[in-house]
Structure 1
């Protein structure tokens, strides 16, 4: 089952299916927009789509997933479907991603790296409240090993 916004963006989109190619394409996309490749640690991806004309991206997985970013001590929840509009160093109008703050889940609507501080990545919620963390906390573990 697909959301209406995904249906509206399917035409002229690059669409990939299958776990291995979807994981590869999701990492390529993050690299292309200059965001850390570990930002979307999704398992069991079944479809990845990218409409370059609109910047709209969607990632579908078989089941929702929680991931703990150990370097910052944060747990993030990813729904079965994650969507965003992407541009260089930014994912906006993000859906399907929540961060656990104390005991509540907070919706994340915007992720960006500010040009004035390229080592920091900021996560904002729909009310405009935001928090920043080191970009390095979202690198893929195997890439981090290669830098040591």
Structure 2
């Protein structure tokens, strides 16, 4: 596992561990049917990706996994043009406390799990185009863009 956390994709593409982590993230997008590669209309607004690189460590501080997150740079959108409202599906701390108190009261067994791609389930109402990630451009369709079917 690579111990460095690259700040830019050019450095990450030089390390096979980071390339594999990026490929794993893209495979999750394909598996969850997050996007489709299409020829983009000329008048379409196309957004690009921010790529975050992070080392996952064990208790001793050893790198056990390299994690990559692709996030669309949506901050250049304009309200009313590119979107109408925003929503983030996260649990509030108060809700978690109430749930745990109720589970304890009813003597329920509670399990914790990490949902790897929970954020890839939000349906989109707007049409949203994004560029192909640098280093992972489809050789057959280098000028195509992805249209998002689910939130990223």
TM-score relative to the length of structure 2:
0.29
Larger RCO (CA under 8 A, 6+ residues apart):
2
Q: Which has the higher helix share?
A: 2
Query: As a proportion of its length, which structure holds more strand?
Result: 1
Larger radius of gyration: 2
TM-score normalised over the length of structure 1: 0.30
